[in-house]
Amino acid sequence: MTLSLTETFVQLLYLGASILFVLGLKDLGDAQTARRGVLLAEIGMVAAVAGTLLYGVGVTQVIVRWEWIVVALLIGSAVGTGMGLWIPMTKMPERIALSHAFGGLAVGLVGVVEYLQHGGPHMTTLQITATGLEVALGALTFTGSIMAFGKLQGFITGRPVTYPGQNLSNMLMIVGTLGLIGLLVYSPDASWAFYSVAALGVLLGVLLVLPIGGADMPVVICLLNSYAGLAAAATGFALGNNVLIICGALDGFSGFLLGMMMSKAMNRSFANVLFGAFGAAPEAKAVTEGAAPSGPAPNVGSVEEAAEVLRAARSVIVVPGYGMAVSQAQHAVRDLANVLQANGCDVRYAIHPVAGRMPGHMNVLLAEANVPYDHLFDLDVINDDFTATDVALVVGANDVVNPAARSNQSSPIYGMPILSADMAKTCVVLKRSLNPGFAGIENELFVRSNTMMVLGDAKKTLMQFTAALRE
């Protein structure tokens, strides 16, 4: 089959776009070249959009009206620009969750339109299967991401919501969705089945995210990223468009891979994160079996005492956690580090892979505060250095420094690789209160003899440290 000149050009544009996307991703592997990677992908996107418009006008004459395309492109660009430029870095997990929602919505709607257009007996087996999967995944990603967004923002409870038979009913719904897609293959004009698939997708998105706790959000966000990609790939199969399949596969695999890394960093399986309702039960368990909650009282220190410890320190490792993001303390951390460094103290940062609410969350916040990225170290690189460090400064981190993960087999986080902040000569922990952390697990680090707890808002405390050290 020989293509017309115009269609050849369109296909070459798609091919070029695909190559540029892969090259862009490759450039993202190094902070030095990453911005070039973004530029390459932007060129790829312009090529793909130009190719599509050319295809719609010059090859198939499908595009006959422009007013809605123009309006949607203009409004979308304006909203996108606003979100791109003004969303604060601390809100990055929320913005990523929201964009997964948009992605799922777009793909799901395209699927519905495809069915409306070609619906019924005109669709091949491949088209109807792909469209069904596309709509199911798109809808699921849409509502699942809205749920994730709500949990991050706090208008939906961050605690896992569980009820009896939850996993069974979810499983039945997944099987039901697949069954309906199978039915559509045999009777493609059963529109009730098609819309039921969409409705089940919407429902599943809500129900699957409901039992997942806030601390597990990194994995969920990765998975939603993956679903959004797979939905786009399904669109590619439905439309017979390779650039969609390629982008979908890249996106789907990226999310999947990141999710795997995150669950590995928590020493848990995917299945455990998704169906284990982490953090629901351990509260009671931790109190009874945890590290002697009635034992030694935490050693609470004043700002002045902690500042003295920091003044004497020659080496400090900062361990940031979600609390740093909540209190927006990244700039205060950097100011303190500046003063310490001026004092001749060596300051480094230890970043746990699941610190925060999304992969790389802490890195971005510290980068925003102008902390050079060669001062940030991954867990496996820096963990052995804690023993030779004067002060480990824990800023709003909890589970990722809980020694129970090493020693207490009954702890829900047993086996998770943790940062050895407790090995430092002194461990200064900044925490809002003595209440157990989000997951409700007792942290024996807080009652260790070499730990000093400084209670209060992390940002304020850090600023007081800085002021005390400047005197």
Partner 1 sequence: MSLTLIFGLYVFFLAAFTGYQVISKVPHLLHTPLMAFTNAISGISLVGSLLAAGGHYGTVSTMLGAVAVLAATINVVGGFLITDRMLRMFKKKGGAR
Catalytic residues: 399
Nearer to partner 1 by Cβ, of 110 and 421: the residue is: 110
Task: Please count the CA atoms within 13 angstroms of the CA of 125 that sit on its side-chain side.
Answer: 3
Retrieve residue 131's tokens.
């469209």
Longest pairwise C-alpha distance within the chain: 80
Interface segment toward partner 1; rule CB under 8 A; list 99-107, 279-287, 331-339, 434-442: 99-107
What distance, in Å, lies between the first and last C-alpha atoms of the chain?
A: 80
How many CA within 13 A on the CB side of residue 406? 13
Do residues 424 and 386 touch, judged by C-beta distance below 8 A? yes
Q: Which residues pair with 393 in a beta bridge?
A: 318, 428
Q: Which of residues 335-374 bind partner 1 (CB under 8 A)?
A: 351, 353, 358-361, 363-364, 367-368, 370, 372-374
Q: Considering only residues 257-296, where is the footprint of partner 1 by CB under 8 A?
A: 257-258
Question: Would you count residue 398 as binding partner 1 (CB under 8 A)?
Answer: no
Among 90, 170, 177, 225, binds partner 1 (CB under 8 A): 225
Please tell me whether residue 416 binds partner 1 under the rule CB under 8 A.
no
Stretch that binds partner 1, among 87-95, 274-282, 442-450, 456-464 (CB under 8 A): 87-95
Minimal distance, residue 175 CB to partner 1, in Å: 23
Q: How far apart are CA 72 and CA 88, in angstroms?
A: 25
Q: Judged by CB, which is closer to partner 1: 18, or 411?
A: 18
Q: Near partner 1 by CB under 8 A, which window of 253-261, 288-296, 305-313, 400-408? A: 253-261
Contact with partner 1 (CB under 8 A) among 100, 268, 334, 459 = 100
User: Within 4-66, where are the H helices?
Assistant: 5-27, 34-54
Please tell me whether residue 378 binds partner 1 under the rule CB under 8 A.
yes
- Give the nearer residue to partner 1 in terms of CB position, either 87 or 312: 87
Using the minimum distance from each CB to partner 1, give the nearer residue, 156 or 249.
249
Q: Which of 3, 12, 79, 342 binds partner 1 (CB under 8 A)?
A: 79
Tell me which residue of 446, 65, 413, 46 sits closest to 213, measured CA to CA.
413
What DSSP character marks residue 297? P
Q: Who's near 66: CB < 8 A, 6+ residues apart? A: none
Confirm or reject binding of residue 113 to partner 1 (CB under 8 A): yes
Q: What is the spatial distance between Cα 378 and Cα 419, in angstroms, rounded to a whole number? A: 10
Residue 69 engages partner 1 in binding (rule: CB under 8 A): yes
Compare residues 72 and 434 and give the one whose CB is closer to partner 1.
Answer: 72
Q: Does 384 bind partner 1 (CB under 8 A)?
A: no
User: Cβ of residue 129: shortest distance to partner 1, in angstroms?
Assistant: 9
Amino acid, res. 341: Q
C-alpha distances (whole Å) from 264 to each of 103, 216, 219, 319 are 27, 12, 10, 20
Half-sphere exposure of 358 (CA within 13 A, CB side): 22
Angle made by CA atoms 121, 124, 128, in degrees to the nearest 5: 85
Residues 159 to 178: which contact partner 1 by CB under 8 A?
none
376 binds partner 1 (CB under 8 A): yes
- Could you give the string, one character per residue 13-52, with x where binding to partner 1 holds by CB under 8 A and - elsewhere? ----xx--xx-xxx-xxxx--xx-xx--xx-xx--xx-xx
| Smallest distance, partner 1 to C-beta of residue 230, A | 10
Among 65-73, 162-170, 278-286, 440-448, the segment contacting partner 1 (CB under 8 A)? 65-73
152 binds partner 1 (CB under 8 A): no
Examine residue 80 and tell whether it contacts partner 1 (CB under 8 A): yes
Residue 188 main-chain phi, psi, to 5 deg:
-60, -20
Q: Does 125 bind partner 1 (CB under 8 A)?
A: yes
Segment lying near partner 1 (by CB under 8 A), choices 62-70, 174-182, 272-280, 291-299? 62-70
Distance CA 471, CA 3 (A): 77
Work out whether 1 is an interface residue with partner 1 (CB under 8 A). Answer: no
Please state the closest distance from residue 217 (CB atom) to partner 1, in A.
12
- For partner 1, the binding residue among 89, 281, 326, 423 (CB under 8 A) is 89
Q: Which is nearer to partner 1, 229 or 440 (CB)?
A: 229
Burial of residue 117 (number of CB atoms within 10 Å: 0-12, 13-18, 19+): exposed
From 412, 418, 292, 293, select the one nearest 355 (Cα to Cα): 418
Which listed range, 159-167, 220-228, 300-308, 311-319, lies at the site for partner 1 (CB under 8 A)?
Answer: 220-228
What is the separation of C-alpha 160 from the centre of its chain, rounded to a whole number of angstroms? 17
Angle (nearest 5°) at CA 433 between 428 and 438 = 100
Residue 288 Cβ vs partner 1, minimum distance, rounded to whole Å? 36
Do the Cβ atoms of 390 and 306 come closer than 8 Å? Answer: no
